[in-house]
Amino acid sequence: MRKLTRFFRSIPIYGWLSGIVHLLGGYTLYLLAELFCRILGTDRWAFIPKIPLIDDRIPLIPVFVVVYIFSYVFWVGGTAAVSLTEKRHFINYLFGLLCALLVGFLFFVFAPTYIDRAAENVMAEVEKPGIFRWMLGFIYRSDGGILGHNLFPSLHCQSSLYCYLGVRRRKEIPVWFRGYTLVMTVLICLSTLFTRQHYSMDVLSGLAVAVVCYAAAQKLDPARHFMERNKP
């Protein structure tokens, strides 16, 4: 516990602010996408990104709603932790993160997707007694009710993997935290499936967007140009 406390206390204030911006920025783009869909009329061609052979075999496991909700805390802490790495890496990380969020936004607007929770037989499940089912019902009701939107790519999976990529192989970050970040990324991806908030294609696409945007940011290295221009 002391090790964890010391680690988080070592994170600079701009790191925590970046984590908060990550959370709020992603949620804002999520909401704006629904607004733009209605304005542009793209919601008329929304589709269900389902692979029945796979997705119909995935069970609803209500307890995973705890992991699903914890992901919001994870993104703040995960992004904040990357601020402990060298400045060049952190700037590139933020640049790639912005690109990943914008890619997700464009998919939501121009290739909108949805899930029919009534057809998936999950709405009846959350009416049963139990704290985890109640929590899951709250998530459903706050995310469209019977119809949930903005599935592909999964921002939960995208943002979680991006947090892990930011600390992976970084010697400035303790091994235990890197391991924790990887485990949480896997659990969050599973939670999107076991809460029936996403389909398998949403998970895979979210992971792909994170990898591509992170790799592109490292390759383009915008931080190098930024730091050269701001040399005293």
Predicted pLDDT of residue 6:
85
- Position 152 in a domain: yes
pLDDT recorded at residue 230? 61
The predicted-structure confidence for 32-72, as pLDDT tens digits, reads as follows 999 999 999 999 999 999 999 999 999 999 999 999 999 99
Domain that holds residue 130: 61-229
Q: What is the pLDDT of residue 3?
A: 75
Q: Is the pLDDT at 232 greater than 60, yes or no?
A: no
CA angle 212, 213, 219 (to 5 degrees): 90
Q: Which of 212, 220, 228 is CA-nearest to residue 92?
A: 220
Q: Which of 206, 220, 224, 190 is nearest to 68 (CA)?
A: 190
State the pTM of this model.
0.94
The answer as to whether 49 is a domain residue is no
pLDDT category at 224 given cuts 50, 70, 90 is: confident
Specify if 159 maps to a domain: yes
The pLDDT value given to residue 225: 73
For residue 64, what are its two tokens? 């995973």
- Please give the residue that has the higher pLDDT: either 161 or 125: 161
Q: Would the CA dihedral through 146, 149, 151, 82 be positive or negative?
A: negative
Domain total in the chain:
1
Angle at 190 between CA 84 and CA 172, to 5 degrees: 15
- Whether 204 is in a domain gets the answer yes
| 55 within domain boundaries | no
51 in a structural domain: no
Per-residue pLDDT at 203: 98
pLDDT at res. 32: 95
| pLDDT for the residue numbered 1 | 64
Q: What is the mean pLDDT of the chain?
A: 94
Question: Is residue 89, in this structure, part of any structural domain at all?
Answer: yes
Does some domain include residue 99? yes
pLDDT digits (tens, 9 = 90+) for 77-116: 999 999 999 999 999 999 999 999 999 999 999 999 999 9
